[in-house]
Structure 1
């Protein structure tokens, strides 16, 4: 008995020339696939439920790693991410550290950027958290 595997999902990243050139994100991601994985917001929590890292880059790295851990548990890879939203308690600090955060992203998730947004917020569920990431992915 053979079982046919469904075709892998296709994520087409679109960056129209009529929009400003993207840096570290895609303007649109068109997803064709059979399974959507919604990823809960992740902060820099360790396995004991404590926020680790004192700086935005440290917390961003842990939050992204946590998001990718949840994605991998669902059978996905960073290239399957279609959308990520970043919630930052200090958007000016996020903007100032964007090159460093971009290097962290590329090291952990590669260069297949999802559609992204950064949203400023006055606080997060975990009071010590400086950043939270959520998103969704499309898998076969």
Structure 2
């Protein structure tokens, strides 16, 4: 994908996300919501950072299976059961993101939800990518 990440000077500084991503490619991959489920269908990780890492690992595994790479992500939505906890752990979550996905940030949003499908899940990520 050719991705142009746009962060206009009139908006707040984009830290850990891009305000807009213009993707040019031939395939769009829609990625289903991923939580911290392991291969046996069990939620792993007792803390937010551990669950975020597993959810992102799962999202990137689905993307790679479709022929994409983290830099192809155009949009990711994070659903968190506790946005205050998410904000408190933001530096650690940012380090996890950079280690697994690099610094080509997609357009992102974080949304607080009452609960997720799996009651033990604290975070879920979904998104889409544009592949070359």
Asked if TM exceeds 0.5, the reply is yes
CA distance in 2 between partners of 1:99 and 1:51 (Å): 23
Report deviation, 1:22: 0.6
**TM-score normalised per structure 1:** 0.94
Counterpart among 76, 79, 93 of residue 84 in structure 1: 76
**Cα RMSD between the aligned structures?**
0.4
Q: Secondary structure at the match of 1:108?
A: helix
Counterpart among 44, 47, 52 of residue 52 in structure 1: 44
Q: Secondary structure at the match of 2:44?
A: coil
Counterpart among 2, 9, 12 of residue 10 in structure 1: 2
Q: Which has the larger radius of gyration?
A: 1
Report deviation, 1:120: 0.2
Q: Which residue of the partner structure matches residue 3 of structure 1?
A: none
**TM-score normalised per structure 2:** 0.99
5+ residue gaps, structure 2: none
Report deviation, 1:78: 0.2
CA distance in 1 between partners of 2:129 and 2:73 (Å): 4
CA distance in 1 between partners of 2:46 and 2:101 (Å): 22
Report deviation, 1:12: 0.4
Alignment of 1:24 onto 2:24: no
Q: Which residue of the partner structure matches residue 108 of structure 1?
A: 100
- After the TM superposition, which parts of structure 1 deviate over 2 Å for at least 4 consecutive aligned residues? none
CA distance in 2 between partners of 1:111 and 1:11 (Å): 13
Q: How many pairs does the alignment contain?
A: 132
Per-residue CA deviations over 1:32-79 (Å, capped at 9, x if unaligned) read 111000000000000000000000000000000000000000000000
Q: Secondary structure at the match of 2:41?
A: coil
Report deviation, 1:93: 0.2
